[in-house]
Chain A
Amino acid sequence: MAKNSNNNALAAPAPSFWRDPEKRAIVYQALVLAFMAWLLYSIVNNTATNMESRGLASGFGFLTSSAGFGIISTPFVPYTEDSSYFTVFLVGLVNTIIIAFVGCVLALLLGFIVGIARLSSNWLVQKIATFYIELFRNVPLLLQILFWYSAVLKPLPGPRELHEAGEAVFFSINNRGLIFAEPVGQEGFQYVWYAFFAAIVVSWLIRKWANARQMQTGQQFPTFLVGLGLIIGAPLLTYLFMGRPLEFVPAEMSRFALRGGVTVIPEFVALLLALVIYTAAFIAEIVRAGIQSVSHGQTEAASALGVKPSHRMRLVVVPQAMRVIVPPLTSQFLNLTKNSSLATAIAYPDLFSVFAGTTLNQTGQAVEIMAMTLAVYLTLSLLTSAFMNWYNSRIKLVER
């Protein structure tokens, strides 16, 4: 008994309700939650009232009705003016994914080249890279898109000024875009594809074998060169052996326009150029910072061990730099994907332009259309992040 009362006297008095952080936290969170619920309720309520008073029907029924407008570029998705709004959505989605994917790959390539040039020991190359970076990343992207589109590509001469009627055109750049001959595989061309895939599998096996051998014996094997030779050489040899089963069908100049061939519309070219050049300037700075972040001790230690300069870069510096490069690179890819929505300024038929633009204007279904559009961008962002996180976890430093 006595012991008990003693304990009670020593224990701190229970804090009053407001002085207990845990109870206070519950109150704060309850308040925030209540506020959010009220906000959400009033937004939903207001939207419903407003839509009713404007005579707007809600729901996704509009997706099945016919769109009735043409789209200048509809790769992979069959589309006519009678197609439904849902097909419009798919067309826009495909176009957005194409520009984002091609843009990311090219921006990465250009960015790496410029970033390494920025660190070159060659004074002139280094200055040109610096000039490139400082020029393009400090000018708004929209301005660059408008510049490439309306100041560079649109004033190009038309096909009628460049080609005579009946002419077979293998390659042409004019104000209708980039037009080149269409490669058509003939009988037996599938073997070239088989050879290509077989070469990839074989070089992967060689790499496994070479790694295992190096682990055991320390002998090295030129995996990269052999693999490259296989992947390029095997399809090429098959191609020649099969009697070149690939024909280039040229576009033909009719009286007014070029028919046939493969056309890349100028909107795509302008948007791609602007996105790639703009984003590459940022990627170049990321690459430079990443390479510089590897401390001098690492390169010096590698030199002291007698590792030759090319291996020093490939085996010591780059793997460590990648850990610094990948996270900001991810956000640049995300930025490029999101910035592709600027297509709406030059009417490239991406998701934003055809769906959140034209379709929204025609149907007035603002809530549904914006929800679908935002969901797509959020999903693309999540997918890109997920992929880059997976890659990052593969290359990151293995610690204890």
Chain B
Amino acid sequence: MAINDNANPQGVVHDGNLPDKPAPMATEGAVAWMRDNLFNGPFNSILSVLALALVLYVLPGMLSWLIFNANWTGGAEACRVNPDGACWPFVSSRWEQFLYGFYEKSERWRIDILLIILAIGIAWLVIERLPGRTFAAILMLFVYPVFAFFMLYGNEKMGLPIVETSQWGGFTLTLVIALSGIVASLPLGVLLALGRRSKMPIISLLSTVFIEFWRGIPLVAVLFMATIMFPLFLPAGVTFDQLLRAVIGVALFSSAYMAEVVRGGLQAIPKGQYEGAMALGLPFGKMMRLIILPQALKIVIPGIVNTFIGLFKDTTLVLIIALFDLLGVVQASIADPNWSIRSVPYTGYAFVAIVFWVCCYSMARYSRYIEDKLHTGHKR
């Protein structure tokens, strides 16, 4: 008897070796990873095979069309010879138009300067180690738009020739509409949010009706109204620029969405903050400006960025009222008979998609980052 577990109180005694146990299942390496993540169970195995088939079906064709088999050099002729790949010369020969629209060639440096300042301003706001970010925010929200307007439109006294808004276009116009929409909608949205939460019945009612009206109608309708109805509303003789009308429409539209975002922030501030401010004897304006809004606006930064992403994508709708934003310019260029090649429309759409995707995705990442920073705890 090798093992005697009754008679010997000292413990279990073996004589000789026990047989070897089988080696433990690998827990590291490629095979183990695949077993854990792809083939844990029959259902997941089937799913993995199907998913792999999907990837193999879509990805090679896409990469080949976009990169490996695409035409990178030459002109329309090269694309005509090889219609089975993207026609990037179409984009490279027209990128200036896509960026500046029909803006005077000699005046394009003005847009360049604005874009550089915009890039610096955004970097300043986003990189947290830099000092004076509140100052930068005020500068970008209030000073930059005025400066940008004079730079873009021109002013004879400042020695800048006037460029009519009908010549603005391309990505510049996309930025103009989206940025002025967001800059105008922020203060309006804060006012509307405060109005909706106000205890004064008439003000609260009017704010609610305003917000729900704009949130209930499509942006296309807003743009249509801006083009067709707005001139009817004004006294005879007063005319507004087409672009300005569109911008006003977009700003009113997005201010309703902004108001709801800000209202979410106001509701998230604990009641003690309001009561504390009142106990200190602060009047309403000071309470909001010094105590409530700084906290509320900070926690709704992700919401503001998301609203901006939506607005940025929606600027493409101005195509419908015959303003030429990036998509409009590309759409118009596709129709050029010199470039009537099968791959050109796909290339044009792919280019616009890539531009918008890069902008929106990076903003979404930023918003996610802020959200993660604010949202601590309850994580596993």
Report A's interface with B, CB cutoff 8 A: 25, 28-29, 32-33, 36, 42-43, 46-47, 49-51, 53, 120-125, 128, 134-135, 137-143, 146-147, 150-151, 155, 295-296, 334, 338-339, 341-342, 344-345, 352, 356, 360, 366-367, 370, 373-374, 377-378, 381-382
Q: Are the CB atoms of A122 and B346 closer together than 8 Å?
A: no
Instruction: Give Cα A315 to B77, complex, Å.
Output: 63
B85 within 8 A of A: no
B331 within 8 A of A: yes
Q: List 20 A-B contacts (CB under 8 A).
A: A28-B203, A29-B203, A47-B233, A51-B232, A120-B44, A122-B51, A124-B48, A138-B309, A138-B357, A139-B313, A141-B313, A143-B353, A143-B356, A342-B218, A342-B320, A344-B220, A370-B225, A370-B229, A377-B216, A377-B221
Interchain nearest-CB distance for B300 vs A (Å): 15
Report B's interface with A, CB cutoff 8 A: 37-38, 40, 44, 47-48, 51-52, 54-55, 199-203, 206, 213, 215-221, 224-225, 228-229, 231-236, 309, 313-314, 316-317, 319-320, 327, 331, 342, 345-346, 349, 352-353, 356-357, 360-361, 364, 378, 380
Q: Are the CB atoms of A46 and B236 closer together than 8 Å?
A: yes
Q: Are the CB atoms of B220 and A342 closer together than 8 Å?
A: yes
Q: For residue B232, which residues in chain A have a CB less than 8 angstroms away from its CB? A: 46-47, 50-51, 366-367
Q: For residue B346, which residues in chain A have a CB less than 8 angstroms away from its CB? A: 151
Interchain nearest-CB distance for A317 vs B (Å): 15
Q: Given A342-B317, A367-B229, A36–B206 Cβ distance below 8 Å?
A: yes
Q: Are the CB atoms of B345 and A151 closer together than 8 Å?
A: yes
User: Which B-chain residue is minimally distant from A144 (CB atoms)?
Assistant: B353
Q: For residue B48, which residues in chain A have a CB less than 8 angstroms away from its CB? A: 122, 124-125
User: Which A-chain residue is minimally distant from B202 (CB atoms)?
Assistant: A29
Q: Are the CB atoms of B235 and A46 closer together than 8 Å?
A: yes
Q: For residue A338, which residues in chain B have a CB less than 8 angstroms away from its CB? A: 216-219
Instruction: Give Cα A135 to B354, complex, Å.
Output: 10
For the A-B complex, the count of residue pairs with Cβ-Cβ distances under 8 Å equals 148
Q: Are the CB atoms of A50 and B55 closer together than 8 Å?
A: no
Instruction: Give Cα A147 to B353, complex, Å.
Output: 10
Interchain nearest-CB distance for B168 vs A (Å): 19
Q: Are the CB atoms of B221 and A373 closer together than 8 Å?
A: yes
Instruction: Give Cα A391 to B246, complex, Å.
Output: 37
Instruction: Give Cα A128 to B54, complex, Å.
Output: 9
Q: Are the CB atoms of B38 and A123 closer together than 8 Å?
A: yes
Instruction: Give Cα A28 to B37, complex, Å.
Output: 64
Q: For residue A155, which residues in chain B have a CB less than 8 angstroms away from its CB? A: 342
Among A33, A137, A143, A338: residue with most chain B CB under 10 A: A143
Instruction: Give Cα A124 to B49, complex, Å.
Output: 9
Q: For residue B200, which residues in chain A have a CB less than 8 angstroms away from its CB? A: 25, 28-29
User: Which B-chain residue is minimally distant from A139 (CB atoms)?
Assistant: B353
User: Which A-chain residue is minimally distant from B334 (CB atoms)?
Assistant: A150
Q: Are the CB atoms of B364 and A138 closer together than 8 Å?
A: yes
Give the residue of A46, A124, A378 whose beta carbon is less than 8 angstroms from that of B38: A124
Give the residue of B218, B317, B345 whose beta carbon is less than 8 angstroms from that of A377: B218
Q: For residue B220, which residues in chain A have a CB less than 8 angstroms away from its CB? A: 341-342, 344, 352
Q: For residue B54, which residues in chain A have a CB less than 8 angstroms away from its CB? A: 128
Q: Are the CB atoms of B217 and A122 closer together than 8 Å?
A: no
- Given A32-B203, A151-B345, 7 additional A-B pairs, CB 8 A: A121-B44, A124-B52, A142-B327, A143-B353, A147-B353, A342-B218, A342-B320
Q: For residue A140, which residues in chain B have a CB less than 8 angstroms away from its CB? A: 313-314, 316, 327, 352, 356
